[in-house]
Amino acid sequence: MEAALSGMRRLNPEARFWALRDVSFTVPPGKMLGVIGRNGAGKSTLLLLVGGIGKPDEGKIIVNPRIGGLLDLGAGFHRDLTGRENVFVGGVVAGLTRQEVARRFDDIVEFAEMGQFIDSPMRTYSTGMQMRLGFSVAVHTDPKVLLIDEFISVGDVAFQAKCLQRMSEIKSSGCAIMLVSQNPRQIEQLCDEAIWLKEGKILMYGDPKMIAAQYAADMGVENQELSLTQSPQIAKVFSPVESSENRVGTGEVEITSVRLLPVSEIRGGDPLDVEIEYISPEAILSPIFTVNISREDGKVCFDANTEKMQMAIPQIQGRGKIKLRIDRLDLGGGEYFVNVGVYKEKWGYPYDFHWQVYPLIVHAAVDYRTIIWPPCRWEISE
C-alpha cells in the first residue's frame, strides 16, 4: 500500500513512500498467523487492509467472510451509546442480524464481565472495559476470520486466560486468526506461523519460535522469561556479535564458518550438506543448532534443528563443528538462502544467528514454477 503524506500542498513523487511493499502470505482456516515488528513497521496498516478498511495500490487481498475485526480492541464503539447499544451495533457490523445479537447478548455480557455497567454510556468505561467488551462481541459473532491488534492489553491475567481459551475454541472451529503483537513470547506460544515486518517489508516468515527469539534478540527485550541483558560477569567475557539485519546474538557462542557442500549451486533433488564451525569460550549446556532455507521474500521453505530431530547436545566448549546432511533437497528452481543459528536451550535466545547470508542456487529438475518437486509419477489404470 502506497501512503502519501499530503500536508497542505501536493507533494512531489519523492515525498511518497510505501507503507507496505511485497507482502504476501496465506492464513488457512484453523490457523493463527502472528505479525510482529517495531512501531511503524506496518503491522496495523496490514491489519486494516485485511479488515477491508482501505484498498492496496497494488496486488489483491482475498478474505472469506465473516470477519471479526478487533482493530484496536473496542474501536468503532460510539462513546455516547450505552454498552448494550454498542453490542448490537458491533454485532450487526460483524454480520449478525439484530435477532442473532439478541440471542447471544447475555453470553457476550457475561464473558466481558460487564453486567452492572452494560447500560452505562461508553464514555464512562475505562479503556480496559471497552477492550473486554470489544473482544467479547468479536468472538461471539462466529467469525471465519479474526483480526486482533495487541491482545496483550485485554483485561487482567484471569480475563486474558479466558480469552486464550476462547481463541483456542474458535480456532479449532476453523477460524483463521491474525494476531498483531510486539510481545515475542505471545507470538511464540499462540501462533502457527509468524511474520516479522520491518519498514513495511517481510524480514522473516515462518516458524514463530525462531522468529520470536530472533526478534527478542534484535529488540533486546525479555523472551520466554529470560532477559537478554547480560550479567556483569558474562559481559566481561563475551561481546555481542555485531548486530545487523543479517546477524544477531549474544556472542556466547559464535559461528565462525558456514560451508555448503559440495557446492552452493545444485540441481533440485541433489544432496546438500551444511557444515557449521563454531567457537564457545565457556561451557554451554544443551545448545540448539538450526538450519533453514528461505526464499528471497523471507518465506522459510525448509527448517531443521537439533531439538526437533531429537539430537541432544549435552555441552559444547572451545572450537567445534557440526553438519546437517540433507539426503535430497527437493526444492523448485530459484534463488534461496541458507540460514544458520545456535540458540540457548529451550530457545531462550540466539547466541549467534545468520539470516540470508549464504546464497543457494537451485536449478529446476523440471520446467515448473513450484516451491518443491519431490519424486512423483503419473499412473494410468488400464
Residue 3 carries which DSSP code?
E
pLDDT at 75: 56
At 168-203, the pLDDT tens digits run 888 888 888 898 888 888 888 889 999 999 888 888
Domains of the chain: 2-197 (3.40.50.300), 227-363 (2.70.50.60)
How do the residues of the chain divide into helix, strand and coil, expressed in percent and rounded to 5?
Answer: 25, 30, 40
Q: What is the mean pLDDT of the chain?
A: 80
pLDDT at 127: 67
Residue 185 grid cell: 513470547
Residue 82 carries which DSSP code?
B
Alpha helices in 298-379 (DSSP H): none
- Greatest CA separation for the chain: 75
pLDDT at 230: 33
pLDDT at 68: 57
**Closest listed residue to residue 74, CA positions, set 112, 32, 34:** 112
pLDDT at 239: 46
pLDDT at 236: 29
| Helix-helix angle 127-139:157-172, to 10 degrees | 20
pLDDT at 244: 58
At 352-378, the pLDDT tens digits run 889 888 999 998 867 677 788 888 888
Residue 5 carries which DSSP code?
-
d(Cα 189, Cα 168) in Å, to the nearest integer?
12
pLDDT at 69: 55
At 121-152, the pLDDT tens digits run 887 776 678 888 888 888 888 888 888 876 65
Evaluate if residue 30 carries a pLDDT over 80. Answer: yes
Report the share of the chain in percent with pLDDT over 70.
Answer: 82
Task: Provide the 3-class DSSP secondary structure of residue 79.
Answer: coil
Evaluate if residue 262 carries a pLDDT over 60. Answer: yes
